[in-house]
Structure 1
C-alpha cells in the first residue's frame, strides 16, 4: 500500500446465466471491488451454454431492445445475447474505469467446483464471489454433513470451504433487503444494501 491507495486485487465472480450470478455480480460491484482492482467473470461449462438470453440482469433493461441483436463485430446472433458480454457491459456502466476480463473454461468431464478452484489459483485470484441458492434444509441444518463430510455440498459451499483465497457466497432476499453472505468464517452474515 503506497500513498494510501490499496493494492490492486483480482476479484473473480462465477458467472452463470441465472439470478444468483446476477446477485453475486451486483454485490461485487457495490461492495467488493475498487477501481484499481481487476474483475474476472469466470464461466465454467459447456461451450454451447455460453450464448443465452440474459435480459433480466440486475433488473435493468437489456443492452438489446429488439429481438435481433448485432454483435460488436457486426455479426448478428438472431436475438440471443451472450450473457457474459451483457455482464461485462453492466460492469462498465456501473464502474467505467474498472478493468473487466471474461474467462470461459470448458468442464471436460471434471467437477465444476474443482475447475473454479484451479482457475482461481492459476489466475492469482484474491477473492471469489459466487451466487448461492440455499435450500430451507441447508439453512437450518448448516452446510456440514454429519461426521464432517463434505459430500453433497453444492458448488458455492464447496468453494467456501476449500478455496485458498477468501470466497463469499451471496444471496439477496427481496428488492431492497440487502445481502446474505457466507464465507468460511462468517455464516449467514446480513449486509444491508
Structure 2
C-alpha cells in the first residue's frame, strides 16, 4: 500500500458543550478521520454560549504520560479551578493531540432571526464542500418510539433533519458508555451498533 495516498476529505463535527457532541468528536477521531483530512469543528449558537461554564469535556493530556493521545480523547468533566474554559479550544487541542498532522479548524456562527440551527449547519457544510458531517444525538426511549417533536424544522430533531437533507454523508452518533461503543444513524443505516 505504500505510495498510494488517500484523497484528503473535509469532515465537519457539530460542536456544543454537551456529552453528545463530545461523543461525536471522539467517534470522528477514532473512526472517521485520517491525518491528511481537514476537521472542522463547527458551533452554532449565540456569543454567550461559546464558553462552557460547567467545565471541560476532555481530560487534558497528562504531563506524566508519554503519549498525550490516550488521555486527550478521554471524556471527562474536569472543572477548571473557577475559570471558564472555551470548550471549542479544548476540543481543538484534543484533536491535535490525537491526530497531530491533521488540519483542525474551529468555526462559529450565530443564529439569525428566523434561521434554524439545522439550516445554518447545512448552509455551512455546503459552503465548505464537506464530505462527511458528524453530529451528536441524544435519544430517549420515548423519542425512539414516538419520534421527536422538538428541535428543528418539520418536527425532526437537528440530527435527523441533517441526515435527511444533507448533500454530503451525515452520521448521527450516540456514545454508549466509555467502552460500549457507538450507535450510528445515517440515510442508509439506522441504529447501527459500532463497538468502541
Offset, 1:98:
1.2
Offset, 1:127:
0.4
- Runs of at least 4 residues off by over 2 Å: 56-62, 64-67, 140-144
2:75 is aligned to 59
Q: Quote the Cα distance in structure 2 between the aligned partners of 1:22 and 1:7.
A: 26
1:11 is aligned to 11
- Stretches of structure 2 lacking an aligned partner (at least 5 in a row): 59-73
Offset, 1:120:
0.1
- How many residues are treated as equivalent by the alignment? 175
The superposition leaves residues 97-151 of structure 1 with CA deviations (integer Å, 9 ceiling, x where unpaired) of 111000001111210000000000001100000000112123235679xxxxx72
2:135 is aligned to 130
TM-score by length of 1: 0.84
Q: Give matches, 1:57-136, under 5 Å.
A: 57=58, 58-60=74-76, 66-67=81-82, 79-109=83-113, 110-136=115-141
Q: Check conservation: 2:44, 2:117, Cα contact below 8 A.
A: yes
Specify the SS of the correspondent of 1:164.
Answer: coil
Q: CA RMSD in A?
A: 2.0
Q: Quote the Cα distance in structure 1 between the aligned partners of 2:148 and 2:194.
A: 20
Q: Check conservation: 1:143, 1:157, Cα contact below 8 A.
A: no
Aligned pair 1:191/2:194, yes or no? yes
Offset, 1:161:
0.6
Q: Quote the Cα distance in structure 2 between the aligned partners of 1:98 and 1:18.
A: 24
TM-score by length of 2: 0.83
Q: Quote the Cα distance in structure 2 between the aligned partners of 1:187 and 1:3.
A: 36
Q: Quote the Cα distance in structure 1 between the aligned partners of 2:21 and 2:133.
A: 12
Specify the SS of the correspondent of 1:151.
Answer: helix
